Amino acid sequence: MIMKEYKIALIKGDGIGPEVVDGAVKVMDAVSRKKGFTLKYTECLAGGCSIDRYGIPLTDETLNICKNSDAILLGAVGGPKWDNVDASIRPEKALLGLRKELGLYSNLRPALMYKALSDACPIKGLDSMDVLIVRELTGGIYFGRRGRTENGAFDTEEYSDYEIRRIVREGFRYAMGRSKRLTVVDKANVLETSRLWREIVANESGNFSEVSVEFLYIDNATMQLIGRPQSFDVIVTSNMFGDILSDEAGQITGSVGMLPSASLGDPGKPGMYEPVHGSAPDIAGKGIANPLATILSCAMMFKWSLGEDEAAQMINSAVDTVLEAGLRTADIYKGEGRLVTTEEMTSAVIEAL
């Protein structure tokens, strides 16, 4: 019997990236052995480490490896070491380049409150939250025209009908598979792009009549996400607003160290999976980073790119088990349970499998 083999591009990146990716690979290997498929890894550089070696944050070699893989696992990029680098070669350019070149326009960021972590939530009395943020990833102000003038600077928010329509349809599609509630976050009282978003949502809603739609301005949405987080199900929004809201949602659930993400494009194209947290250079090399966001990103990879739904569920269940057992890395430790290292948390997840 020939075992299925999947090609995975590994971009460990900077800061704590290598630590959390190494742990996640061990978990993926443990799952693949149990489920009877193999994973072939190709390691490549992007971000600050690529600048150090090649002078640029993203090389053609790395891009080609990613394009020819079934999925990409990325740790984190950036850090103060490269803060003085010219803006054209900053580490973050690697992320923007990968998203654009791979056509990864849909960013899924689930924010799930684990019952075992309710004490880590900064909101008193909140013990449940399950929100999926669908963020447009290749348009908006991050990719619009920008520049400097004699007395200032400018960044332009631009969206085409096509870019908005395809991500709005994704939002509706995910809502149909959940509680059939969709919140659209914009700034339509000020931005013309947001008014276009609303027009397209209204037009598309006729194709998803079962889904109830709520519109919120971004400033109100940030407040409501704290005031009534249980009332949200699927949020669809622009690139920058999604970036902000997903970090806020992560803090509500206890720590951004618990938040995975998937960046997806058209069917058949490789998806990229990464933790929402950054490179955390202040704790890099100390062995205390939380690997769970990266491990949960692997579960998303198994589900969305590899079609290994049972393997994905095994990881999700194992993470739930270790949290229920009281294991905590520093970011989610609140004085109760057992404080563990990155390696110990990884080993516990593998044992729970």
Q: What is the CATH number of the domain that holds 282?
A: 3.40.718.10
Residue 234, in any domain of the structure: yes
Q: What pLDDT does residue 232 have?
A: 96
Residues 100-134: tens digit of each pLDDT: 999 999 999 999 999 898 888 888 888 789 999 99
Counted domains in the chain: 2
User: What pLDDT sits at residue 1?
Assistant: 62
CA–CA gap between residue 43 and residue 263 (Å, rounded): 19
Tell whether 202 and 144 lie within a shared domain: yes
Domain match, 343 and 283 both: yes
In this structure, the answer to whether residues 38 and 73 fall within a common structural domain is yes
Looking at the structure, do residues 159 and 216 belong to the same domain, yes or no? yes
State whether 280 and 344 are in the same domain.
yes
Catalytic residue positions, numbered: 142, 187, 219, 243, 247
State pLDDT tens for residues 247-273: 899 889 888 889 999 999 998 899 999
In this structure, the answer to whether residues 145 and 230 fall within a common structural domain is: yes
91 and 42 in a common domain: yes
> Which of 185, 182, 190, 254 minimizes the C-alpha distance to 224?
185
For residue 292 the two structure tokens come to: 């769970």
* Distance of alpha carbon 59 from alpha carbon 49, whole angstroms: 11
Supply the pLDDT for residue 254: 83
Q: Quick check: is 349 in a domain?
A: yes
**Residue 185 covered by a domain:** yes
Same domain as 235, residue 280: no
Q: Is 37 in a helix, a strand, or coil? A: strand
Flag whether 122 is in a domain.
Answer: no
Q: Are residues 141 and 245 in the same domain?
A: yes
The parts of the chain modelled with pLDDT lower than 50 are none
Residue 292 lies in a domain: yes
DSSP bridge partners of 72 = 9, 272
Last residue of one domain, picked from the residues 221, 252, 283: 252
Beta bridge partners of 134: 108, 236
Shared domain for 221 and 297, answered yes or no, is no
Residue that has been written with the tokens 């607003």 in this structure: 241
pLDDT value at position 85? 67
In a domain, 109, yes or no: no
Mark which of 204, 221, 252 sits at the end of a domain.
Answer: 252
Domain coverage including residue 37: 1-104+267-353
Does residue 257 form part of some domain?
A: no
Final residue before a domain boundary, out of 206, 228, 252: 252
274 and 177, same structural domain?
Answer: no
Distance, in Å, from the CA atom of 11 to the CA atom of 262, rounded to the nearest integer, reads 15
Whether 3 is in a domain gets the answer yes
Looking at residue 250, its pLDDT comes to 85
The per-residue pLDDT for 3 is 81
- Phi first, then psi: what are they for 301, rounded to 5°? -60, -50
| Coil, helix or strand at residue 343 | helix
Q: The domain that contains 146 carries what CATH number?
A: 3.40.50
Residues 246 and 307 in one domain: no
The pLDDT value given to residue 123: 86
